[in-house]
Amino acid sequence: GIFKGDRQLAAHTHYYIREMRVRSYAQLLESYSSLTVTYMANSFGVSDRYIDRELSRFISAGALNAKIDKVGGIIQTNRPDQKNWQYQSVIKQGDLLLNRIQKLSRVITI
């Protein structure tokens, strides 16, 4: 293909293709809260076994936010909760602000 003919890009072919697969899987998964392994395999034109292996590898590496129910043959997405993340961030920033104010009040009272 295009990458193998170019000396600079040839070394990065596997990385680029893997990242494109991760993005493709993530794009399909973000549209659903859950879907079957068979549906996803058919969407990409591969076998159930291939998609299962591929997703397992990407999920364990942290590249995809999902889990596979092997018994039911279902892939469930577990998106990080945006409000929970915002809440944790506000709490952390508030704690830092309080610590700074306490340090400043100690310096001022001396």
The predicted-structure confidence for 19-30, as pLDDT tens digits, reads as follows: 999 999 999 998
Which 3 state secondary structure label does DSSP give 68?
Answer: strand
pLDDT at 2 over 80: no
Phi first, then psi, for residue 68 (nearest 5°) are -110, 125
The predicted-structure confidence for 67-88, as pLDDT tens digits, reads as follows: 999 999 999 998 767 777 788 8
Could you give the CA distance from residue 11 to residue 31 in angstroms, rounded to a whole number? Answer: 33
Q: Are 15 and 22 in contact (CB under 8 A)?
A: no
> Which helix (H) or strand (E) is 34 found in, with range?
strand 34-36
Supply the pTM of this predicted model.
Answer: 0.67
Give the per-residue pLDDT at 3.
72
Give the per-residue pLDDT at 84.
74
Could you give the CA distance from residue 13 to residue 33 in angstroms, rounded to a whole number? Answer: 31
Give the per-residue pLDDT at 1.
66
Q: Could you tell me which residues are beta bridge partners of residue 35?
A: 75
Give the per-residue pLDDT at 110.
63
- The per-residue pLDDT of the chain, averaged, comes to 88
Could you give the CA distance from residue 54 to residue 60 in angstroms, rounded to a whole number? Answer: 10
Burial of 102 (0-12, 13-18, 19+ CB in 10 A): exposed
Q: Could you tell me which residues are beta bridge partners of residue 77?
A: 66
Give the per-residue pLDDT at 5.
76
